[in-house]
Structure 1
Amino acid sequence: MDNLLYWVGLAAVAVNALTGVLDAGRKNMDIIGVVMVGGATALGGGTVRDILLDRTVFWINDQTYLVAALATTVATFFAVRGLRLPARLFLIPDAVGLALFTVVGTQIALEWQAPWLAASLLGVITGVVGGVLRDVLCNDVPLVFVRSELYASAAWAGALSLVGLQRLGVPPVLAAWCAMALIFAVRLLAIVFRITLPTYAERK
């Protein structure tokens, strides 16, 4: 399971860095701005999780994550620079990153003896905080806060499924793959069919 967590974590960092570059590119940022946005998107959620768990921040403990974030950011910047890309293109890799990071965050919290509900919420934090930082740095309302297709709720469903499957005796690796697939599928279906949660509205 540790080996899976490591490689999924690296993949999540790379994918989230890519989404940060795609979003920052729409704002015509220079390479410094893009690197800052990409790095915050890739590393932000895991950093908050580790601080809350009182453990060494993952990219300080292992600089491979930091290298992966920076390398992906710079490579993507030069690969897509000058191309005209659809505005919603980043939503697909963002869904992948959400699935990967949520499962990694939840599993790490469980291994650090966090209670199941707290562990699931730490998984959600790991999955969504990077995107929040990306949107704030790009001067957008964070995707998770506006009336949009299921986002944090998709992550939480996946995190709870990971906890539940492990409690039922499903092998951790299989439970992790099932949870990632669930998050990605729910997020993708929500995007395609415009599935949203009820919003608060005052009666006029």
Structure 2
Amino acid sequence: MEVQEAVFLALDLTGTFVFAVSGVLLAARRGFDITGGLVLGTMTGIGGGMIRDVLLDRVPNALGQPIYLAPPLIATLLIYLIGKHVSRARIWIVAFDAIGLAIFSVTGTTIALGAGATYPAALLMGALTACGGGLMRDAVASEDPAIFTGTDLYLIPALFGAGVTLIADATGILGNVVSLIIAGLAFTFRMLAWRLQWRVPQPMRQWSYRETERKMKRLPSVFRKPD
């Protein structure tokens, strides 16, 4: 294995681990048992990558390289040994999630490019890799998915990391050091957005059917047969 491949594998495994930690921490915060923590951690760590690989018609890394299953297991055992106080570690959930998001926005885009994807497709694959596992984690744990809340930015930092990776590839400077720098920038972006509560426009909060019910006739059911 070449040095560049080894560094990339280490980076991808690190992203899997920190994402798995965020999933296990959420499981601990919700009072799940160790089995639930393992399931949630595994889903968070490899979920986005598996969706990406299926869409790219390639064998998922978690199936082709069983070493990808080790980080969720290690994360589960680690959080289990730390103790009960992790149930209040909300800041650590956000921090580890941000690290995973930043790393996967880079590695997901790079893998998509290596599979022959176009730049627009690679951008989407990078964002999907970064956000897919977190979305699955939050949905299964009955949390409001971070990607859908307007209190901070989630998808935009992922698109930022993927976009800068594409720019680096187009200019021929994409490498190990540049990848780490891009991941660091995406992590900083995500944490600043969370800490400062940066928002995106939320037009859906400006109206609702309940509020406008008095001003307009009730709309017929979408699935009702036409008169």
Task: Indicate the residue corresponding to 2:164 in structure 1.
Answer: 161
**Structure 2 CA distance for aligned equivalents of residues 87 and 67 of structure 1:** 24
TM-score, L = length of structure 2: 0.85
Which among 190, 193, 203 is matched to residue 190 of structure 1? 193
The Cα of 1:78 is off from its aligned counterpart by 2.3
**Structure 2 CA distance for aligned equivalents of residues 197 and 127 of structure 1:** 19
Task: Indicate the residue corresponding to 1:73 in structure 2.
Answer: 76
Q: Which residue identity is paired with 2:179? A: A
Of 2-11 and 103-112, more deviation after overlay is shown by: 2-11
The CA deviation string for residues 159-198 of structure 1, in whole angstroms up to 9 with x for no partner, is 1101112212214223312321221111111112111111
1:166/1:175 contact within 8 Å kept: no
Equivalent pairs, count: 204
The CA deviation string for residues 74-119 of structure 1, in whole angstroms up to 9 with x for no partner, is 2222223355534333101111010111111000000111001110
Q: Which residue identity is paired with 2:193? A: A
Structure 2 CA distance for partners of 1:171 and 1:132, relative to 1, 3 Å: closer
Task: Indicate the residue corresponding to 2:28 in structure 1.
Answer: 25
Q: Which runs of 5+ in 1 are unaligned?
A: none
Alignment map for 1:6-155 (pairs within 5 Å): 6-83=9-86, 85-155=88-158
Structure with max Cα Rg: 2
Q: Which residue identity is paired with 1:19? A: S
Q: Percent identity?
A: 30
TM-score, L = length of structure 1: 0.94
Q: Which residue identity is paired with 1:4? A: V
Q: State the Cα RMSD in Å.
A: 1.5
**Structure 2 CA distance for aligned equivalents of residues 22 and 163 of structure 1:** 32
Q: Which runs of 5+ in 2 are unaligned?
A: 213-227
2:29/2:86 contact within 8 Å kept: no
